[in-house]
């Protein structure tokens, strides 16, 4: 009995410690989180996407302690943490990769990679006149790989940027961003790369698209230069393989591109949107309440543009929110608990509506 009581006492102590640690990662008024678990502990870690069965996630990292010079893709079980060991790399280790996503069979992923052009990491652009810019490498193509890192198919072979691919929860279509039309537009295709269809055709950057849970709608981020100066600047940067992501709003449309409409009118950068499991709300990252670019926090909004609600209350950076398919967990990237460094780590929260 004494041993049983001792064991029970220890279990209670460790349970309390775990709860305390979880609570320390939850900031005041973050009422949608019942607990949070930190997954990575260094580098820039982002875009963690769930397998269709919610048992695994794939994410990208550039953590130098893992021997990386730029983003590569890594696999994890849903309960893993990487404070003391390195996850399994599932990209080639060559070039730069972006935006991995599980295929419906849970045994393959797709992702964008520059490795066919050069085994080395492509050059990272510097700020232009003090302004933050993103590279749109024309060497990105979309590949399918098994979970051992073996590429089994190349889905795009057009000249220019092809990346940011995600898959409908129905398991039948891919949406991705491409420059094949001469601008950054959205396209859909079948899982084997066939039946490519352009679904947006407005000047500006359309990217980071995701299907609704029933596959009927698509949410994405977009820039929409209006004035002559804005258009000239956008075209000038685009000609250099760059975009400036400081002014973006969210747009929503049917999966064939019809009924396109702007969802947010907040100003600054609104991006990394993802559908709530109900299909009636969008979670996204924004700095619209910030005067100097930071912080970024997570927000929720109805698909009719009403009922904007703040979800996180960070003073730095929260982004890339992705719900598990069962709706019970939210993976996201954050600067919280990084010891004052610039590290962006992955976190998984237990979600409550």
Quick check: is 133 in a domain? yes
Q: Round the average pLDDT of the chain to a whole number and report it.
A: 92
Q: Which residue has the tokens 């250099």?
A: 240
Report yes or no on 64 lying in a domain.
yes
Q: List Cβ neighbours of 127 (8 Å cut-off, separation of 6 or more).
A: 133
Tens of pLDDT along 170-199? 999 999 999 999 999 999 999 999 999 999
Whether 342 is in a domain gets the answer no
Residue 291's pLDDT band (cuts 50, 70, 90): confident
In a domain, residue 104? The reply is yes
Report if residue 84 sits inside a domain. yes
CATH of the domain at 91: 2.120.10.30
**Peptide bond between residue 162 and the one before it cis (omega within 30 degrees of 0):** no
- Beta strand 197-198 with 88-89 is unpaired
Asked whether residue 69 is assigned to any structural domain, the reply reads: yes
- pTM value? 0.92
Q: What is the pLDDT of residue 12?
A: 36
Q: Quick check: is 306 in a domain?
A: no
Q: Which residues, 6 or more positions from 344, have their beta carbon under 8 angstroms from its beta carbon?
A: 43, 44, 45, 46, 317, 333, 334, 335, 338
pLDDT at 225: 96
In the chain, the percentage of residues whose pLDDT exceeds 70 is 93
Is residue 341 domain-resident?
no
248/305 Cα distance (integer angstroms) = 15
The residues pairing with 271 across neighbouring beta strands, listed in sequence order, are 285
Give the range of the structural domain holding residue 259, as residue numbers without chain letter: 45-271
Residue 62 has pLDDT above 50, yes or no: yes
pLDDT tens digits along 229-254: 999 999 999 999 999 999 999 999 99
Q: What is the number of structural domains in the chain?
A: 1
pLDDT digits (tens, 9 = 90+) for 86-126: 999 999 999 999 999 999 999 999 999 999 999 999 998 87
- With 60 as the cut, is the pLDDT of residue 17 above it? no
User: Stretch 312-337: mean pLDDT, rounded?
Assistant: 97
């Amino acid at each position: 009995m004494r041993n049983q009581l001792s064991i029970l006492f220890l279990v209670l102590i460790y349970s309390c410690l775990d709860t305390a640690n979880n609570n320390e990662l939850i900031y005041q008024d973050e009422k949608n989180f019942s607990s949070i678990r930190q997954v990575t502990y260094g580098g820039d870690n982002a875009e963690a996407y769930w397998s269709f069965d919610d048992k695994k996630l794939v994410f990208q990292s550039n953590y130098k302690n893992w021997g990386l010079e730029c983003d590569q893709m890594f696999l994890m079980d849903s309960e893993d943490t990487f404070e003391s060991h390195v996850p399994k790399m599932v990209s080639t280790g060559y070039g730069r990769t972006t935006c991995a996503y599980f295929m419906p069979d849970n045994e393959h992923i797709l992702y964008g990679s520059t490795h066919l052009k050069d085994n080395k990491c492509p050059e990272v652009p510097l700020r232009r006149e003090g302004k933050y810019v993103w590279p749109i490498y024309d060497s990105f193509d979309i590949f399918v790989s098994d979970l051992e890192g073996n590429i089994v198919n190349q889905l795009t072979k057009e000249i220019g940027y092809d990346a940011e691919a995600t898959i409908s929860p129905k398991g039948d279509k891919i949406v991705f961003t491409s420059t094949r039309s001469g601008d950054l537009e959205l396209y859909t295709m079948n899982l084997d790369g066939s039946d490519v269809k352009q679904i947006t055709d407005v000047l500006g950057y359309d990217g980071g698209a995701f299907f609704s849970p029933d596959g009927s709608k698509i949410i994405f981020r977009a820039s929409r230069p209006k004035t002559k100066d804005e258009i000239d600047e956008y075209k000038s940067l685009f000609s250099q393989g760059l975009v400036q992501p400081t002014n973006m709003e969210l747009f929503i449309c049917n999966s064939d591109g019809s009924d396109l409409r702007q969802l947010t009118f907040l100003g600054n950068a609104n991006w990394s949107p993802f559908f709530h499991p109900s299909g009636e709300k969008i979670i996204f990252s924004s700095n619209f309440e910030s005067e100097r670019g930071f912080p970024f926090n997570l927000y929720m909004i109805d698909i009719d543009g009403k009922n904007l609600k703040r979800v996180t209350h960070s003073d730095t950076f929260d982004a890339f929110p992705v719900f598990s398919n069962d709706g019970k967990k939210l993976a996201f990237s954050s600067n919280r608990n990084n010891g004052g460094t610039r590290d962006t780590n992955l976190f998984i929260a237990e979600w409550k509506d």
